[in-house]
Amino acid sequence: MARVYFKAFSPGATSREHSAAGRAVLERLIDDENVELSPSVPLKVHFGEEGNVTYVPAVTYDGIIDLLERRNVETCFVETNVLYRGERTFRPSHERLARRHGFTRLPVVIADGDHGDSYKEVEINKNHFKTCKIGYEIARQDQLIVAAHFKGHMLAGFGGAIKQLGMGCAARGGKLAQHINAVPLVNPLKCKRCYTCAQHCPEDAIKKGIMSAKIRTDRCIGCAA
């Protein structure tokens, strides 16, 4: 079993304190496990949605970046585009969002390109998938440092570093493959008929109904399930 490194924080710990702790834990892990860092090691992060405050702040990564710089390791912030409609759907707006949220110390790389269609088919030969579509700029790396925030998840209980890898490294086609059999349902008794869902549906698969929103299963790609 892999060794787990833990660092406790007081409730009032600042982002700067988290940054210093992240540097210390990573340095200890590298030294204890005799990890030889590649010349280039991107930081896989989440830039946060507009108006959201629960993502890991950019300043928190400063300690890790300091450590990589001291060891002459090239790095960048790397992320992939999302399926649903929003500022993280396409590279130009995704990059602007990252800058607004303070991710300016390193270059921002959107691994699956402008429209999520730049990927490498990676063979894994597992039960559910034989191959996976991984964002090209991630698939060509030898190493990644993955940083994740805690997030509640209806199926898995919570999402974290594993989701940052399994979903976060997938190009749009890879995300679609993971969601394709999961189609959301509308409860007509709870639907408020605001149709916000229809405004955000990337496939225009949601229409106005008499009592509630209606999902066209022939067009739905399951991105919100």
> Burial level of 154, CB count in 10 A (0-12/13-18/19+)?
exposed
Do 159 and 195 share a structural domain?
no
The answer to whether residue 52 is domain-embedded is: yes
- How does residue 104 score in pLDDT terms, banded at 50, 70 and 90? very high
Consecutive H or E run containing 77: strand 77-79
Do 39 and 124 share a structural domain?
yes
Do 88 and 32 share a structural domain?
yes
The answer to whether residue 9 is domain-embedded is: no
Residues 139-167 have a mean pLDDT of 83
Give the pTM. Answer: 0.80
Contact 44, 138 (CB under 8 A): yes
Do 152 and 59 share a structural domain?
yes
**How far is 89 from 86, CA to CA, in rounded Å?**
6
Range of the domain at 125: 15-179
Residues 190-214 have a mean pLDDT of 89
Contact 145, 38 (CB under 8 A): no
Q: Which of 116-130, 143-157, 189-203 has the lowest mean pLDDT?
A: 143-157
The per-residue pLDDT for range 117-148, each reduced to its tens digit, is 999 999 999 998 899 999 999 999 999 999 88
- How does residue 1 score in pLDDT terms, banded at 50, 70 and 90? low
**How far is 29 from 154, CA to CA, in rounded Å?**
32
Do 37 and 77 share a structural domain?
yes
Two tokens, residue 90: 């396409």
pLDDT at 10: 77
Identify any residues that bridge with 74 across adjacent strands, giving them in sequence order.
40
Do 55 and 110 share a structural domain?
yes
Do 134 and 172 share a structural domain?
yes
Do 152 and 67 share a structural domain?
yes
Do 115 and 201 share a structural domain?
no
pLDDT at 222: 74
CATH number at residue 197: 3.30.70.20
Please give the mean pLDDT across all residues of the chain.
89
> Burial level of 10, CB count in 10 A (0-12/13-18/19+)?
exposed
Do 208 and 147 share a structural domain?
no
Tally the domains of the chain: 2
Q: Which amino acid is at 97?
A: L
Q: Is pLDDT above 90 for 184?
A: no
Residues 94-118 have a mean pLDDT of 96
Do 111 and 33 share a structural domain?
yes
> Burial level of 211, CB count in 10 A (0-12/13-18/19+)?
exposed
> Burial level of 208, CB count in 10 A (0-12/13-18/19+)?
exposed
The per-residue pLDDT for range 35-93, each reduced to its tens digit, is 999 999 999 999 999 888 888 899 999 999 999 999 999 999 999 999 888 899 999 99
Do 200 and 166 share a structural domain?
no
Q: Is pLDDT above 70 for 224?
A: no
- How does residue 23 score in pLDDT terms, banded at 50, 70 and 90? very high
Residue in 217, 219, 221 with CA at minimum distance from that of residue 180: 221
The answer to whether residue 92 is domain-embedded is: yes
